[in-house]
């Protein structure tokens, strides 16, 4: 029987705890402090850290109850050691160390971003030998070549400034939408014309390809949206918010999908996994599904509940690491807010 792995996620504002055996998810419980941050219009690190302290034990107990197991049944403990907010990471890692020491079970400090891809194994089954992973969220837009999710991950490209989700939140603020702006912009975009405004596609010109073929940049796009809205207001015209949202969202999805398909062709990969909070975006899902089908690429996107931060993603990656017999982390491991995306285990 495969080992029972407990996964702890606390990189930002969600406290997630899950239990996985092999590639089977037994329990997944998430406590979010999003409502506490909404009134500030963004994540407050100290508030997030304190919320993790309050939520961790109740969330752990709820996950154990959901799975019908006790702590003594756990064979290994996996925890997100980075990247993320230092205070939030510290709460999760400290808890994982205490559980490891108290239970006498091995500890595995794993990479949060890679976990966003690993969780798909719990939904669509084990991965093929090679795949491409596009991980897009509020803080990350990363393109990863995965030959083995636990041992061989190569970063091909990443965001040079604003990540996709971060840009959505900022455009949401420009349009007067509630925080977090991403879901609100997505819903508004469905009502607009994605071809109404020719917003730029960052790092897509021929001169950018040599150095930044698989990198992303959304800061210029965000600025273009701001200037367009300002010009519209200066002329006394009503801002067509739905068209702005739709045209902006189309520009983001176009860049993400175009660069990802190019990477798949360059590296002879025919399976793409899309993960991270922004993978819940409807235009990205539709664009990736349509264009990858035309290119002969199989797309795997987890259900929305596994796109945002959760314990299942950490337990899934921890399970992959354990099943490959990799040595556990030392109890002295620290947290790394900017952990390299080619580091699966610390």
DSSP 221-267: HHHHHHHHHHHHHHTTPPP-HHHHHHHHHHHHHHHHHHHHHHHHHHT
Say how many C-beta atoms besides its own lie within 10 A of residue 90's C-beta. 18
For 4-119+310-323, which CATH class? alpha beta
Q: Where are the alpha helices (DSSP H) in the chain?
A: 34-38, 45-67, 86-103, 112-118, 121-124, 164-174, 181-189, 206-212, 219-234, 241-266, 282-295, 311-323
Same topology between domain 4-119+310-323 and domain 128-304: yes
Annotated domain spans of the chain: 4-119+310-323, 128-304
Residue 3 has pLDDT above 80, yes or no: yes
The whole-number pLDDT of residue 41 equals 79
Confidence of residue 290 (pLDDT cuts 50, 70, 90): very high
The whole-number pLDDT of residue 164 equals 93
pTM listed for this prediction: 0.95
The string of pLDDT tens digits covering residues 190-204 is: 999 999 999 999 999
- Residues β-bridged to residue 272: 132, 299
Q: What CATH number should be reported for the domain whose range is 128-304?
A: 3.30.420.40
The whole-number pLDDT of residue 146 equals 98
The string of pLDDT tens digits covering residues 42-79 is: 789 899 999 999 999 999 999 999 999 999 999 999 99
Q: What is the mean pLDDT of residues 320-328?
A: 98
Residue 35 has pLDDT above 90, yes or no: no
CA angle 334, 302, 12 (to 5 degrees): 30
Q: Distance between CA 229 and CA 177 in Å, rounded?
A: 14
- Residues β-bridged to residue 82: 111
């Amino acid at each position: 029987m495969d080992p029972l792995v407990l996964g702890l996620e606390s990189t930002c504002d969600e406290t997630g705890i899950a239990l996985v055996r092999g590639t089977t998810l037994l329990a997944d419980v998430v406590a979010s402090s999003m409502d506490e941050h909404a009134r500030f219009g963004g994540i407050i690190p100290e508030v997030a850290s304190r919320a993790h302290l309050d939520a961790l034990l109740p969330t752990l107990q709820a996950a154990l109850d959901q799975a019908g197991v006790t702590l003594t049944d756990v064979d290994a403990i996996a925890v997100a050691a980075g990247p993320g907010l230092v205070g939030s990471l510290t709460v999760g890692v400290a808890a994982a160390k205490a559980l490891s020491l108290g239970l006498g079970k091995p500890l595995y400090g794993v990479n949060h971003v890679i976990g966003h891809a690993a969780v798909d194994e719990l939904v669509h089954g084990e991965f093929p030998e090679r795949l491409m992973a596009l991980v897009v969220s509020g803080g990350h837009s990363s393109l990863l070549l995965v030959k083995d999710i636990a041992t061989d991950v190569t970063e091909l490209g990443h965001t040079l400034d604003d990540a996709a989700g971060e840009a959505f939140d900022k455009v949401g603020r420009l349009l007067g939408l509630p925080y977090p702006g991403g879901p609100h912009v997505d819903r508004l975009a469905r009502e607009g014309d994605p071809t109404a405004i020719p917003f730029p596609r960052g790092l897509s010109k021929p001169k950018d390809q040599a150095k930044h073929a698989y990198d992303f940049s959304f800061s210029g796009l965000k600025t273009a949206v701001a200037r367009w809205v300002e010009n519209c207001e200066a002329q006394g015209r009503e801002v067509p918010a739905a068209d702005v949202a739709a045209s902006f969202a189309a520009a983001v999805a176009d860049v993400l999908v175009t660069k990802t398909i190019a990477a798949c062709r360059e590296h002879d990969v025919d399976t793409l996994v899309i993960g991270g909070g922004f993978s819940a975006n409807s235009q990205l899902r539709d664009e990736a599904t349509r264009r990858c089908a035309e290119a002969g690429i199989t797309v795997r996107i987890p259900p929305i509940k596994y796109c945002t931060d959760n314990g299942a993603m950490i337990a899934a990656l921890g399970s992959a690491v354990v099943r490959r017999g990799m040595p556990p982390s030392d109890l002295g491991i620290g947290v790394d807010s900017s952990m390299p995306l080619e580091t699966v285990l610390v």
